[in-house]
Amino acid sequence: MHDMQAARGAPLNDPPSGAGGGPHLGLLLVVAAAVLVLDVTSKIVAVAQLSDREPVELLGGLLTLRLVRNPGAAFGMAQGLTIVLTVVAAVVAVMILRFGRRLRSASWAVALGLVLGGAVGNLVDRILREPAPLRGHVIDFLELPSWPVFNVADSAIVTGGAVLVLLSVLGISHDGTRGKH
């Protein structure tokens, strides 16, 4: 019967749940919470261990720990737009939460959870860090060769976005159905 459902375009995973949201809203929230905890914790440790210190090379220079306070977006772009970036991150978070109530795909839930956790992680910095509320600088501390300094939240956003693109290319919908190619 499972194959018949898949052949007719029916959801490939859990059946719809009650009014509380899709069956994978909880998964989205758990992934987002895990990313947020890892991001906030890593930034606290980075500030404590890397402030007023030369960069630390690890793995033969493959990874460098370098503390940077970033007032802009990823890769240091849009440095004068901190308030705009704060508002955009908040809107993205709200949109993902609203959309998450309709999720029927575990893959989409994980991908959106990564994006949500990363967006909220950087949003926390913008709201709470210096120089002022809503103008705070995001803490970045991971650097790869020939790559701008980034953080756990940035990694989660990029990974989640890549998974969303892959799911779309494969024709896998947020409701768990597979589109025709």
Identify whether the C-beta of residue 116 lies closer than 8 Å to the C-beta of residue 34: no
Sequence-distant (≥ 6) Cβ neighbours of residue 80 within 8 angstroms = 71, 72
Cα distances from 103 to residues 20, 106, 117, 138, in angstroms, run: 12, 8, 17, 30
Instruction: Point out the residues that are catalytic.
Output: 140, 154
Question: What is d(CA 51, CA 104) in angstroms, rounded to the nearest whole number?
Answer: 44
Q: Write the secondary structure of 48-65 as one string of H (helix), E (strand) and C (coil).
A: HHHCCCCCEEEHHHCEEE
